[in-house]
Amino acid sequence: MCTRLFWLLSATMLISSCKLMDKKDTKDNSARFSGIPDRKWWKEAVVYQVYPRSFKDGNGDGVGDLKGITSKLDYIKSLGVDVVWLNPIFSSPNADNGYDISDYRGIMKEFGTIQDFDELLKGMHERGIKLVLDLVANHSSDEHEWFKQSRSSRTNPYRDYYHWWPAEKGKPPFRPGSFEVDGSGWRFDSLTNAYYLHYFSYKQPDLNWENPKVRKEIFDMMKFWFDKGVDGFRMDVIPFISKDTTFPVITQKDIDEKYNGDWSQYLASGPHLHDYLKEMNSEVLSKYDVMTVAEGAGVTAATAHNFVDADRNELNMLYHFEGVSLGYLPGQFKHMDPKGYDLVQFKEIYSKWDSVFEYKGWGTIYLGNHDQPRMLTRWGNDAPEFREASSKLLTTFLLSMRATPYYYFGDELGMNNIKFDKIEDYRDIESINMYKTIQNSGGDLQYFLEGQKIGARDNGRTPFQWDSSANAGFTTGTPWIKVNPNYKTINVAAEESDPNSTLNYFRKMVKLRKANPVLIYGKYELLDKNNPHVYAYTRVLGKEKWLVILNFSKETFEYKIPATVNDGQYELMINNITQVPEIKDNKVKLSPYQAFIIAIK
């Protein structure tokens, strides 16, 4: 496989590890997977998430679009990924960048037309790439025709497509509205003298899933996209769909006592949630070879199996929030603990989630997405001297765990947080409205803005960096959000020609995972769990035993390997820096953010 790779001519370290990979690759790959039970394409896939607004602008209006993505399919193909997950591309007034859908079968005007979509899907399938869309069905836009009808009168046939609370009953019991300045999930609508429910902004009214007509509408819409050939759905806040429509009073004390202080756990425990997912499965999902992944908001290790176990006949995978929530100060809005996060806890969380799915179900792993800051800034170190090594280390981690990796576009380039100084630079409803909330309560706005430099979602939404031309080659117009000024050096064009770039490292790591079932299905075991700097683990499948060593610190030190590796009795499979790890007497010198994987003989 390395014959096609120009980096062969580069550092000896790379040459030697490529040779090693060649050896493995010459064996028939399917034979290497034989005997593995419950194989599924979505377990073996690497998913690449594309935020369409920021990937590539095809018509110069400053907003990424479908034609732009189609024009870059060869790039996506070159990464070696199997599946692309696109954030919502449907008609939307964009209160929350497409997570407020006004027509589930139409394409957002700024993104193009249904013909552009058909072309994109065709281009992907021609290249052997699958396409997963975003199902945003907990809520619609308030500009959806259903809601317009629903709000028009209390007797309108669409009235019970949404949740209404008549004002003559008094104020409805509190429910959270995530993106609202006053934090309330109910909005008063004078037209019919009633409140409607919205767990996010008032522009995102919650659909009433207790109404069978609503479920049928959603299921028909899913079939529409599956019949077009779409390969799956990522399901936005799907655990929230079912509600106790008596809307009992829930106090903060209830949440603290029963749900560990976490409202989302309450929202994810609606009475008919799993009935509806089963119905969705039997009505729609079971009829297609597609993958599903729930945004596991409010899902805990104790409830996860209910969503994904094969014998439940519901969904395939979910992603949890425990990992990405680590390190923020409690009770504050996404403000990092100045000490950073604790690696020992990080290891505990990811090891726990591995064990959750060890015998049943299947996990996912991610460190960044459109709701998260850039993984390099949040989990690595974006100082220039550590950017490359720590970015490659995180890539090594994501692609060597037993779980389907969801890799966020731009992370392969080592893109980092833009760290805006002013609220005016932000576009995200979450940051803007939280700013207003803090302003209204007389809070410390400067402190908030400092925190947002690490935690804000817009950090992960800046335009993809293609080259060093104006606006990083993303658009010929004015980008909808600022481009990170580091695009002059951090971009695809520069990294293509550098054999040691983070981009080429990502490609190499994807290949390594795809070619070696031990990285996909092998048993995971955490070693040296209390070490505050090193994350070490083995992956074992049959006779193969691979050891992953990740130095999450900026220190150089000698490390005692917590497994038996006899001198010379190992093969180096990948290494993220030029210094080749030499293991002698079970010890190895680790450089800052060094990551390597060996196969133990």
Give contact residues for Ca ion (rule: CB under 5 A): 57, 59, 61, 63, 65
What is the rounded distance in angstroms from the CA atom of residue 79 to the CA atom of residue 266? 40
Judged by beta carbon, residue 291 or residue 294, the one nearer ligand GLC is 294
Strand partners of residue 232: 132, 291
What is 109-135 written as a DSSP string? GGG--HHHHHHHHHHHHHTT-EEEEEE
Q: Indicate the residue among 367 and 572 with the shorter CB distance to ligand GLC.
A: 367
Query: Binding string to ligand GLC for residues 293 to 332, with x set by CB under 6 A, is what?
Result: --x-------------------------------------
SS (H, E, C) 355-384: HHCCCCCCCEECCCCCCCCCHHHHHCCCCH
Question: Rule CB under 6 A: is residue 371 a binding residue for ligand GLC?
Answer: yes
**Amino acid sitting at position 513:** R
Binding mask of the shown chain, residues 477 to 516, with x at each position contacting ligand GLC by CB under 6 A: ----------------------------------------
Q: Which of 110, 116, 236, 430 is catalytic?
A: 236
- Report the alpha-carbon distance of residue 13 to residue 581 in Å, rounded: 10
- What is the end-to-end Cα distance of the chain in Å, rounded? 23
C-alpha to C-alpha distance for 85 and 50, rounded to whole angstroms: 6
* Residue pointed to by tokens 């505050």: 532
Distance of alpha carbon 137 from alpha carbon 159, whole angstroms: 17
Give the number of residues written for the chain: 601
Match 């995971």 to its residue by tokens. 524
Listed residue (300, 311, 138, 140) closest to 234, CA to CA: 138
Closest separation in Å from C-beta 20 to ligand GLC = 39
Contact pattern from residue 206 through residue 245 relative to ligand GLC, giving x for each residue in contact according to CB under 6 A and a dash for the rest = ------------------------------xx--------
CB neighbourhood size of 366 (10 A)? 21
* Binding mask of the shown chain, residues 256 to 295, with x at each position contacting ligand GLC by CB under 6 A: ---------------------------------------x
Backbone phi, then psi, for 104, in 5-degree steps?
Answer: -70, -15
User: Which one of ligand GLC, Ca ion, none is in contact with 236 (Cβ closer than 5 to 8 A by kind)?
Assistant: ligand GLC
What's the min distance (Å) between Cβ of 201 and ligand GLC?
8
Taking the least distance from each CB to ligand GLC, the nearer of 177 and 581 is: 177
Rounded Cα distance between 544 and 357, Å, is 21
Among 96, 180, 206, 412, binds ligand GLC (CB under 6 A): 96
CB of 461 to ligand GLC, least distance (A): 10
134 noted as active-site residue: no
Q: Which does 200 bind (CB under 5 to 8 A by kind): Ca ion, ligand GLC, none?
A: ligand GLC
Residue 10 or 71 with smaller CB distance to Ca ion: 71
**Which entry of 100, 295, 314, 354 is annotated as an active-site residue?**
295
**DSSP code, position 420:** -
Residue 577 interaction partner, one of Ca ion, ligand GLC, none, beta carbon < 5-8 Å per kind: none
Q: How many residues at the interface with ligand GLC, by CB under 6 A?
A: 9
Residue 61 catalytic? no
371 binds, among Ca ion, ligand GLC, none (CB under 5 to 8 A by kind): ligand GLC
Strand locations in 465-601 (E): 523-527, 534-541, 544-551, 557-560, 570-575, 587-590, 595-600
Residue 120 CB, nearest approach to ligand GLC (Å) = 21
Q: Which residue is nearest to ligand GLC (CB)?
A: 99
Pairing outcome for strands 83-86 and 47-50:
parallel
Residue 122: count of CB within 10 angstroms of its CB = 13
Q: Which does 96 bind (CB under 5 to 8 A by kind): Ca ion, ligand GLC, none?
A: ligand GLC
In the complex with Ca ion, the residue whose CB is nearer, 50 or 250, is 50
Residue ranges in contact with ligand GLC by CB under 6 A: 96, 99, 136, 200, 236-237, 295, 370-371
Q: Which residues are catalytic?
A: 236, 295
